[in-house]
């Protein structure tokens, strides 16, 4: 793409303008949680989740947000659901009490975590 940007005047500016157009279109879903755009985004998310995780109701329950699309960072990926539903992956939504290198795996929780590695995704 850098070569195209270098030798084709206006392509980079048009690309950036198209990104802004997309952001402006999605702005409605952030400010109006009852908008058509919000409903469409929510339905697209649920449809993709149901298609990629067809037989795991508990995991789908954990992954279904209780807030409107756009209220938190949106993950745009076609391999997120397959990755998190693998047999060697466990999604823990239990509260974390503390994070420190002194604890086993660096995490202290009310529930014992047995894992080769732990990936923390913390949302505020």
Q: Is the overall model pTM greater than 0.85, yes or no?
A: no
For position 116, what pLDDT does the model report?
63
- Binned average pLDDT, 10 residues per bin, the chain of 124 residues: 85 90 75 82 92 94 87 81 90 76 66 65 63
Question: Which pLDDT score is estimated for 48?
Answer: 94
Enumerate the domain spans of the chain. 1-31, 33-90, 92-123
What string of H, E and C letters represents the secondary structure of 48-92? HHHHHCCCCHHHHHHHCCCCCCCCCCCCCCCCHHHHHCCCCCCCC
Query: Rounded to the nearest 5°, which phi and psi values hold at 108?
Result: -110, 130
Instruction: Report the pLDDT value the prediction gives residue 53, as an integer from 0 to 100.
Output: 94
């Amino acid at each position: 793409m850098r070569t195209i940007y270098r030798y084709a005047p206006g392509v980079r500016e048009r690309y950036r303008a198209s990104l802004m157009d997309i952001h402006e279109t999605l702005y409605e879903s952030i400010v109006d949680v009852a908008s058509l755009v919000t409903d469409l985004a929510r339905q697209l998310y649920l449809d993709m989740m149901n298609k990629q995780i067809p037989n795991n109701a508990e995991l789908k329950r954990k992954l279904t947000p209780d807030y409107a699309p756009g209220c938190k960072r949106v993950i745009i990926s076609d391999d997120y659901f397959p990755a998190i539903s693998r047999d060697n992956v466990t999604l823990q939504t239990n509260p974390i009490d503390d994070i420190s290198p002194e604890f086993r795996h660096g995490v202290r929780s009310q529930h014992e975590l047995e894992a080769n590695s732990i990936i923390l995704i913390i949302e505020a």
